Each structure stands twice: as C-alpha cells, then as structure tokens.
Amino acid sequence: MADLDTRLDEMIARLREKGYRLTPQRLAVLRILAASQKHPGVEGIYERVREDFPMTSLATIYKTVTLLKEMGQVMELSFGGMGCRYDGRNPHPHPHLICLQCRNIVDADVGDVTGLCKEVSRKTGYRIVSHRLDFFGICRECQEKK
C-alpha cells in the first residue's frame, strides 16, 4: 500500500502547491485514482464517490479529473464508443492491455517505447511530447468463458 499512499500524497501535495483546496469530494476522487488498478471512467469514479458522499455531482467528478489531468497527475485514455478511462497510479505514458469483451484495462509491462520516440523524432522532425501504446484483445478469463 506504500505505493498507493505515496501516489495519494503526491497528488495532494501537488494540489496544495498550486493553492487548490482539498474538499472531501476531491479527496475521495484522488483516493480512487491513486489506488485503482482498473482504470476507471468518470461514471465509475462517480459511483464509488457516491458510496461515501451521496450528494456528489457528476460535474464535480469531471472538474476534478480535468484538473488532475491538466496538472499531469492522471493520464487520460480515450476510446471510441466509451467514455475516457483514467490512470492515476501511473500518469506517464505506458502500454495498456484492453480486453474487448469485458472492457477491463490493465497495464502491460513490456519494454518501453522511448527508443522509438527518439527514432520518430529524428526521422520526422517532430518534437515528441508523449505517446500511447495500447493492445486490444481478449483476456484469459474471457477466452475461457467463450
């Protein structure tokens, strides 16, 4: 849990640093984003926050997530057809594995792409800021269900 706490602490520190307030709703969102392996979407965060704070509005979730995104403390993953999903545990580019059946998203620990970034930059003249590498497929559980 140390990792998770340091992530949470980091997020809180970054908020404070910029003079943003730490409301109970915000803290609840931070907690979820700092801890969740499941790359939740806004709706998912909303439901979980409402377990503790039933009057929380969806707009607040959006505002908080957007704020964190702009501060570089969460990474947004957008997919056609569904709302965006968020990774607060590791807000830097890294590969993801998406199951097309159960829609779960997990981190994929394969060699990173920084080498490729450099190659692309050199070949094209672009200044590469970020990247995204996602694999789509069927997870083991869903293969067995079939």
Partner DNA sequence: CTTCATGCAAAACATTTGCAGCTGG
Partner DNA sequence: CCAGCTGCAAATGTTTTGCATGAAG
- Counted residue by residue, the chain has a size of 146
Q: How far apart are CA 135 and CA 25, in angstroms?
A: 33
Contact call for residue 56 and DNA (CB under 7 A): yes
Nearer to a copy of itself, 3 or 126 (CB): 126
Residue 124 binds which of DNA, a copy of itself, none (CB < 5-8 A, kind-dependent): a copy of itself
Q: Which residue from 31, 28, 90 is spatially nearest to 54, judged by alpha carbons?
A: 28
**Among 24-32, 93-101, 115-123, 125-133, the segment contacting DNA (CB under 7 A):** 24-32
Return the half-sphere exposure (C-beta side, CA atoms, 13 A cut-off) of residue 79: 20
Q: Which stretch binds DNA (CB under 7 A): 63-71, 87-95, 105-113, 126-134?
A: 63-71
Interaction between residue 72 and DNA (CB under 7 A): no
- Comparing CB distances to a copy of itself, the nearer of 30 and 99 is 99
Q: Which residue type sits at 53?
A: F
Cα end-to-end distance, the chain, whole Å: 35
CB of 62 to a copy of itself, least distance (A): 12
